[in-house]
């Protein structure tokens, strides 16, 4: 039995006979993985871990509330070096370019609402840099940025990307950040007895990520990548979902209210209300630090950007 087969057998055995959570099960095979020369960190955590439990600022008491102030374009506010906006009292709207951060899930729809949560996870630094720095490069096509983000969440090797994607990544990331883009042993976990013992949602995401890695390495088209990352058909209700109506406000820790109205995974209408006397006045709204998390866990997490959407 070769080392790859031994690794697979060991993981399968751990999954079959351990009562610990899946994340702890992965950790228990660290010694064997290290011997095989395979990277472990991304087995232990998704590149972006932000999920519904992190979206704790939803405010049901404001359901149906519409500010009395006339709605104004957010773009009229002063911009920051990071591509954000300096907030002032008032009611604002911005139609932005948003990006999918969860492959193998469904896009927005079905009346499901979205809540504010901050980016978290091992790839937070790289993801924030791509989204923030893209504001200063309006010439870069949105599809290229989305492909880079899919490559990161799928844990693809930077060297497997196309020449165009490498060039764009070099514009948006530092050499240190570029060096951090590498693949782990997840190809071993998307089929066979290991995958058979994982929860269905985890298994679906791992398989989608594996398909994305293969497509990125073989030069698959954006349409092909999208078919894998963005599922078609009825979403159903995912495990751990919450009943969040469309248009629910979240109260940001800085003191302003925000809600997300996704038109698709590619674009979201963001509304912000800064009440008179709010401590949010003069603070920055940095879209790259906002992930719109759906109440239905079968739908995609959407990171926002400071780039206006143009249909």
Q: Tell me, what's the pLDDT at 223?
A: 95
Q: pLDDT by residue (tens digit) across 225-240?
A: 999 999 988 889 999 9
State the pLDDT confidence band at 218, using cuts at 50, 70 and 90.
confident
When pLDDT is averaged across residues 83-103 and rounded to a whole number, the result is: 97
Mean pLDDT, the chain, integer: 83
Q: Does position 116 have pLDDT exceeding 70, yes or no?
A: yes
Q: Tell me, what's the pLDDT at 248?
A: 98
When pLDDT is averaged across residues 256-274 and rounded to a whole number, the result is: 98
Q: pLDDT by residue (tens digit) across 22-69?
A: 333 333 334 433 444 444 444 457 899 999 999 999 999 999 999 999
Domain boundaries, the chain: 1-38, 48-303
Nearest CA to 47 out of 105, 121, 156, 158 is that of 121
| Residue 210 · residue 160 · CB < 8 Å | no
Q: Tell me, what's the pLDDT at 204?
A: 66
When pLDDT is averaged across residues 279-296 and rounded to a whole number, the result is: 98
When pLDDT is averaged across residues 184-199 and rounded to a whole number, the result is: 46
The residue ranges of DSSP E strands in the chain, in sequence order, are 71-73, 85-86, 90-97, 99-100, 105-106, 114-117, 230-231, 250-251, 257-264, 267-274, 284-285, 291-294, 302-303
Q: What is the pTM of this model?
A: 0.81
State the pLDDT confidence band at 172, using cuts at 50, 70 and 90.
very high
State the pLDDT confidence band at 157, using cuts at 50, 70 and 90.
confident
When pLDDT is averaged across residues 118-131 and rounded to a whole number, the result is: 96
Q: Tell me, what's the pLDDT at 180?
A: 79
Q: Tell me, what's the pLDDT at 46?
A: 87
Please calculate the CA angle 248-250-254 and round it to the nearest 5 degrees: 160
Name which of 27-36, 100-109, 148-157, 188-197 the model is least confident about.
Answer: 27-36
């Amino acid at each position: 039995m070769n080392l790859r087969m031994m690794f697979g057998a060991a993981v399968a055995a751990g999954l079959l006979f351990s009562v610990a959570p899946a994340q702890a099960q992965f950790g228990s095979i660290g010694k064997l993985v290290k011997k095989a020369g395979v990277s472990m960190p991304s087995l232990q955590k998704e590149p972006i871990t932000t999920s519904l439990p992190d979206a704790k600022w939803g405010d049901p008491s404001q359901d149906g509330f519409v500010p009395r102030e006339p709605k104004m374009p957010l773009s009229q506010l002063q911009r920051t070096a990071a591509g954000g906006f300096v907030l002032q009292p008032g009611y604002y709207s911005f139609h932005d370019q948003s990006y999918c951060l969860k492959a193998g899930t469904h896009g927005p729809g079905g009346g499901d609402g979205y809540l504010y949560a901050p980016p978290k996870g091992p790839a937070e630094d790289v993801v924030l840099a791509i989204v923030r720095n893209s504001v200063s490069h309006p010439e870069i096509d949105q599809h290229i940025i989305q492909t880079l983000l899919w490559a990161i969440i799928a844990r693809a090797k930077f060297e497997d990307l196309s020449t165009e994607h490498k060039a764009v990544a070099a514009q948006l990331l530092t050499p240190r950040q570029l060096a951090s883009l590498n693949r782990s042993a997840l190809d071993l976990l998307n089929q066979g007895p290991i995958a058979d013992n994982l929860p269905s949602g985890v298994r679906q995401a791992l398989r989608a990520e594996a398909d994305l890695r293969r497509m990125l390495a073989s030069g698959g088209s954006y349409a092909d990548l999208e078919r894998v990352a963005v599922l078609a058909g009825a979403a159903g209700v995912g495990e751990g979902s919450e009943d969040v109506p469309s248009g629910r406000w979240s109260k940001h820790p800085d003191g302003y209210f925000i809600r997300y109205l996704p038109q698709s995974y590619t674009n979201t209408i963001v509304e912000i209300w800064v009440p008179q006397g709010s401590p949010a006045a003069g603070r920055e709204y940095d879209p790259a630090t906002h992930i719109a998390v759906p109440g239905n866990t079968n739908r995609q997490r959407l990171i926002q950007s400071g780039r206006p959407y143009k249909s």
